[in-house]
Structure 1
Amino acid sequence: MIKAAIFDMDGLLVDSEPFWQDAQLLVLHDLGVNITRQDTINTTGIRIDQIIKHYYKTQPWQGPNCDEVCDLILDKVIELVGINKPMMPGVLHALNLCKDANLKIALASSSPLRLINATLKALDIEQWFEQRYSAEHLKYGKPHPEVYLNAAEGLNVDPKECIAFEDSFAGLLSAKSAQMKTVIVPEHKVAEKDQWVISDVKLRTLNELSTEDLVR
């Protein structure tokens, strides 16, 4: 029996993935790092510090350290989210269905807590989430399951009694590794890839979520 719903954030609740891509391209290009937009797409769902450490190892630069580069990227993403407030379709519909089903609701994201708090405030959905969990300071980010396991523990719910909502393959692997039921809402450009078959439910938008999806 499902007792809790745990949501990812970037790309699922908020259309922030283009902002992450733009911020990485802007900051890293200024440092002389050769990356493309496709490179930023390929790392969707991966923690930003892990991405930056990879680029520093393969294309080291002079000047700011990795933590400072992460902060520059994060500041830009927060700025863009605050200006645009790009809530994804069906977010309130999904949250209402989870509430009506008497599910506990939490958030588990690879993003730093500073961005989580700023985003929920910008979208005016802070009140929906009993707890918020970030993989920012964990040893491993997604696709490791730790952030989802922490969320389940914090809600005092067995992971097998949780349903996780994701948009990325790294996030999907994280939730499945935590032995949770999963709903995947992939970005439309990659929606037809075979990799999503491991999810329990696949949707085009959260507007398609039904009560049956939460209980079956």
Structure 2
Amino acid sequence: MMIEAAVFDMDGLMIDSQPYWQDAQLAVFPPLGVTITRQDTIDTTGMRVDELVQRCYERSPWDSVSREVVCDRIVDRVIERVRAHKPAMPGLNQAIDVCQQAGLKLAVASSSPMTLIQATIDALDLNDVFEVIVSGAQLRYSKPHPEVYLNAGDALGVQPQRCLALEDSFIGLLAAKAAQMKTIVIPETAAANQNHFVIADRQLTSLQELTVDLLNSF
């Protein structure tokens, strides 16, 4: 088998947190005078929180609080919801088991701040599962830049070409492809028919479809 490691995205792939990100933006931005719709929040799926905030600030500047505080408010709301609801995606534990059966090293590579990644790992009781956890929150470039994926591969000691990235968003898929990793994309149902996902090596409807045979096919 070519693959030696599996690198999991987090938001939308491991946990169903996208509605929490959307709700947090809809709660935090309007009091600042920013007009925002749920569709706006859906359109930025996979974007880093500081970039989201910057985009809203450029469109409709506010001066009551810093952008950093706004980022923290959004992330804190998401953390609160993740801790309360523990929203693991269907098949997550099964997919982890499959990767372990195949002898793969496991990592998480997320654009989210480390505070949210750690809160998620704790909430889902996955503390002993992942050898490497990397956040793109402090990097110069976020996904679709490949840096967070390259960092994960480096930390695992595995060449990117021998890593499999599991993603849900097109932004994340671009990052993994740019890192020259093999890719499986599992988009949310509403987005699954979008043509741009054809660049993935495989497209699944759920983590429940991941099998050892599928991993061996890479």
Q: Which bracket does the TM-score occupy, shorter chain normalised?
A: over 0.9
Who is 1:43 aligned against? 44
What is the DSSP-based 3-state SS (H/G/I as helix, E as strand, rest coil) of the residue aligned with 2:76? helix
- Matched length: 216
How many percent identity over aligned positions? 53
In the other structure, the counterpart of 1:188 is: 189
Is 2:96 the partner of 1:62? no
Q: 1:120-135 to 2 correspondence within 5 Å?
A: 120-135=121-136
Q: Could you say which residue in structure 1 is the equivalent of 2:202?
A: 201
What is the RMSD computed on CA atoms of the aligned residues?
A: 0.7
Q: Which residue in the other structure is 1:75 paired with?
A: 76
CA distance in 1 between counterparts of 2:191 and 2:20 reads 18
Could you list the per-position Cα deviations for residues 150-182 of structure 1 after superposition, in whole angstroms to 9, with x for gaps in the alignment? Answer: 000000100000000000000000000000000
Segments of structure 1 that go 5 or more residues without pairing to the other structure are none
TM-fit CA distance, 1:211 = 1.3
Q: Normalized against structure 1, the TM-score is what?
A: 0.99
- Give the superposition deviation at 1:78: 0.4
How far apart, in 1, do the equivalents of 2:183 and 2:173 lie? Answer: 7
Report the Cα distance in structure 2 between the residues aligned to 1:174 and 1:167, rounded to whole angstroms.
12
Deviation at 1:213, TM superposition (A): 2.1
Secondary structure class of the residue paired with 1:128: coil
In 2: Cα distance, 1:175 partner to 1:214 partner: 17
Letter in 2 for 1:139: R
Give the TM-score normalised by the residue count of structure 2: 0.98
For the pair 1:26 / 2:23, whether they are aligned, the reply is no
Where 1:204 maps in the other structure, the secondary structure is: coil
Q: Which residue of 1 aligns with 2:155?
A: 154
SS at match of 2:29: helix
1:60-116, Cα deviation, whole Å (9 max, x unpaired) = 012111100000001100001111111100101110011011100000000000000
The farther-off stretch of 205-214 and 151-160 is 205-214
Structure-1 separation of matches of 2:22 and 2:182: 29
Q: Match of 1:127, SS? A: coil
Q: Which amino acid aligns with 2:107?
A: A
Residues 189-211 of structure 1 deviation map (CA, whole Å, 9 limit, x = unaligned): 11111111010111110001111
Q: Supply the AA of the counterpart residue of 2:74.
A: I
Contact 1:47 1:110 (8 Å CA) reproduced:
yes
